[in-house]
Amino acid sequence: MIDTHCHLEMCDEWQGHGLKRVATVGIDEDAIDKALALADAHDEIYAIVGRHPNSATEFDIEPVRRAAEHPKAVAIGETGLDFYRDGSPREDQERAFREQMELAEGLGKPLVIHTRAAEEATLNMLDATSGTVVMHCFSMPAQLDECIERGYFISFAGNVTYPKATDLQEAATRVPADRLLVETDAPFLAPQPVRGKLNRPGNVVHTAEKLAELRGVEYAELESQVEANAARVFGW
């Protein structure tokens, strides 16, 4: 299995789980540097580079542009809108989102989206791109049909395994097989079997097992499909 979205610089441990590929996300300049260093040091690690909406104050696109030139930088993000925390002024979030969206499209790289309490505003801004979009840690089941219609990739994290996440679980059954991705978002959102503990990339297996159960397919089939989807998205 692979983990298409985690934050290795925050994880206490990540090696030894037999993962074929890991995408680690740099959400600010310091994290980007660490992500690229890990990608340089390990064949199986790739980097996603960008600026998180909660860190979008006084955003400067140039460090992201430079990082995106690295041969193992496979996507731009995570970017988007977060009106739940409002860690940065909304106008700064929107500007950072817009500039990263333009950068991703110009480079032909996928755009990885974070959205929280800003679903419609996020989709409205995404109207401006025709590039590849990954909805990271998918949490907007009410907008699933629109995301599918737009051709977005839908990535599920550990929260889909939680007993009360029935709307998210129902959405997971309806995502086209060729648009499905799996992630941990480690060290956050540990899946149900290890809930309450610090999440690790190897725990992606628990989420993948739950998705296979929900979709009524064998684990090996889901694993093969997700790996093929990720290879198509990230070009690794």
Contact criterion met (CB below 8 Å) for 184 and 19: no
Task: Write down the domain spans for the chain.
Answer: 3-234
Contact criterion met (CB below 8 Å) for 2 and 201: no
Name the CATH topology of 3-234.
Answer: TIM Barrel (3.20.20)
Q: How far apart are the first and last CA of the chain?
A: 14
Pairing, β 153-156 against β 180-182? parallel
Q: Cβ neighbours of residue 52 under 8 Å, at least 6 residues apart?
A: 27, 28, 78, 79, 82, 114
From first to last of its 236 residues, the chain has per-residue pLDDT tens of 999 999 999 998 877 677 999 999 999 999 999 999 999 999 999 999 999 999 999 999 999 999 999 999 999 999 999 999 878 999 999 999 999 999 999 999 999 999 999 999 999 999 999 999 999 999 999 999 999 999 999 999 999 999 999 999 999 999 999 999 999 999 999 999 999 999 999 999 999 999 999 999 999 999 999 999 999 999 99
User: Of 4, 57, 61, nearest to 32 (Cα)?
Assistant: 61
Question: pTM to 2 decimals?
Answer: 0.96
